[in-house]
Amino acid sequence: MNMLDVIMNAQGGSAVRQAGAQVGLGEAETATALAALVPALAGGFQRNLQTPDGLSGLVAALAGGDHQRYIEDPAALADPGVVDDGNGILGHVLGSKDASRALADRAANQTGLSPDVLKRLLPIAASLMMAAFSRQQAQGGLTSATADGGTGAGGLLGMLTPLVDQNRDGSIIDDVGGMIGRMFGKP
């Protein structure tokens, strides 16, 4: 199951409803927003996981946090600390607030939703992604990700690849490059 599916289906859609409630969106609008945000975030995660420091950083973050709670108990998304957690994740994945703003603006153009709402949803989406990673780790997926270089269908990268390989050519390099270019307004 890919990352977006895990988030959308968590607790029968409760995670989507709770995330939306935090920013004033209905369930359908939140699903649309997450469908725009999660693939771009997945590209950032995938880039980070390609480096030894990125993979070890994710492993350390998963070991040091109780991220899975956001999937298992979506009411935890109402905790004010979720935004701090998410902003920390965004800092590692996207690198700057400008990149986060650009991502929210791009998603706003795709969805027709307010960029301000998407900026508020972005750290919640990042927290949900870490929750999905945490669930995968708990199910043994982290071992397969590190054992085969992260390319196994059951590994962490296996959750990201379907979201990032948008043209389904088997390579994510062109897709990630395109996402980055679009984030910063380059063709």
Q: Convert the pLDDT of each residue in 46-93 to its tens digit.
A: 777 777 777 667 667 666 677 788 889 999 999 989 999 899 888 888
Q: Convert the pLDDT of each residue in 121-131 to its tens digit.
A: 999 999 998 88
pLDDT above 90 for 28: yes
Rounded to whole angstroms, how far apart are CA atoms 135 and 52? 21
The DSSP code sequence of 82-123 is HHHHHHHHHHHHH-SHHHHHHHHHHHHHHH---HHHHHHHHH
pTM for the structure as a whole: 0.75
